[in-house]
A and B are shown apart, each in its own frame.
Chain A
Amino acid sequence: MRRAVAINLKIPDNAAYTALVTLRRLGIDVARVERSEIVRFADAPDAVVLAAEVERDESLYNPNKHRVTVLDADVPRPGEVWIVQDDADRPVGWRLYRAPGIPVERAVLAQAAERLLCNPAIERAIYPK
């Protein structure tokens, strides 16, 4: 089964905060930004086993600073856009919220990607289905 995991910082993420400030400066209404490294698996075990495997891989995961979330599918979550520079790369996931726990709508996500998060000359944005 195809799965993906999101690995993000459990300490404050300065890059995500800078993105938040810049998006607000652009007039995009966002309350919170989360940034993750997305690791995709073509043939993954069930979620619990996958999480344990990722947490054993020191090249991916540092328990001092990272949190692992196994995604339900190999696609971005609501309010999340994956930015990939070339297809061999791990995408960077940017998840935007308009209020605590409430992801932004697709239109806001597209605006954020087009105006800041994605340079179409070198990157591609992958949106939730």
Chain B
Amino acid sequence: MSARIAVLVFPGTNSEDETVRLLGDCGGNAHLVHWSRAQTLASYDAYVLPGGFAYEDRIRAGAIAAHDAMMDHVIAGAQAGKLVLGVCNGAQILLEAGLVPGTAPIRRPTAAFTRNGPVPHFVCTHVHVKLTIEPARSALTAALEHGALIPAWTANGEGRLAASDEHLRELERGDHIAFVYAHEDGSIDDTASPNQSALGVAGLCNREGNVLALMPHPERDAWTFNHPDRRRGGAMLAPSGGAVFFRSFVEALSR
């Protein structure tokens, strides 16, 4: 029987349906798990925290969800080596829970995805993120090519990585920076990030490589009709570049 993936639904999550559908299209056995059924999470093999506004971003984005009973199971699973992926608000929750970068005690965050710069507004734009770690560094990226370029949509008001200089150095030294923003041709410079994220970071992984937090949404560029170039022709439901990332996640579960 294939590994079971739980897609967590907190009050305020809004990207769960496309996430489940994409995981299914990539060959995964994914199921929605509602916050009222937290006790069932232990039986799953992997966890995906989709985007949205869990608990209405009360206190801070991800702060309340990080302490939800569902996260007790996700934290225990991550510590046991289960794969955990957080996208957008899911990424914010993983940072608030301290699972990423995972260099401090649990639920003692050392970084945050916070208000965008230079203007603290909601930003919705198409982006590309580039894999900057060796693919095998994280189980979730192991099936990607070296330097893989993944298209995605960024859609948030709080996607800029912020941390102290000391903790940013720790992210670099520990090889935690899994993805940075890049241009469509794969080049990287200060203008590639849509929100002035520190070090151009779009995604972080933990030391063990089984937990990954990614701010933009690859699942929203998963089929041709999601992609900005969709009018070029071709089947509208053909897989697009974002699907590659989720395929790597699903393949990791079969290894």
Interface residue stretch chosen among B42-50, B80-88, B109-117, B147-155: B109-117
Q: Is the CB of A116 within 8 A of B58?
A: no
Interface residue stretch chosen among B162-170, B208-216, B221-229, B233-241: B162-170
Interface residue stretch chosen among A13-21, A51-59, A64-72: A13-21
Question: Is A119 engaged at the interface, CB distance under 8 Å to the other chain?
Answer: yes
Question: Is B60 engaged at the interface, CB distance under 8 Å to the other chain?
Answer: yes
Question: Is A104 engaged at the interface, CB distance under 8 Å to the other chain?
Answer: no
Q: Which residues of B contact A102 (CB under 8 A)?
A: none
Which residues of chain A from 3 to 48 have any CB-CB distance to chain B below 8 Å in the complex?
A: 14-15, 18-19, 22, 25-26
> How far, in whole Å, are A85 and B60 apart by their CA atoms in the complex?
10
Q: Which residues of B contact A115 (CB under 8 A)?
A: 107
Q: Is the CB of A14 within 8 A of B109?
A: no
**B96 CB to nearest A CB, Å:** 7
Report if A116-B59 is in contact (Cβ < 8 Å); known contacts: A18-B64, A121-B164, A122-B162. Answer: yes
Q: Which of A18, A19, A122 contacts B114 (CB 8 A)?
A: A122
Q: Which residues of B contact A116 (CB under 8 A)?
A: 59, 63, 67
List residues of chain A with CB under 8 Å of any chain B CB. 14-15, 18-19, 22, 25-26, 85, 114-117, 119-123
Q: Give me 5 other A-B pairs in contact (C-beta within 8 A), A22-B64, A115-B107, A123-B60 excluded.
A: A18-B58, A18-B64, A85-B114, A117-B59, A122-B114
The 5 closest A-B pairs by CB, nearest first: A15-B58, A122-B112, A18-B58, A121-B163, A122-B114
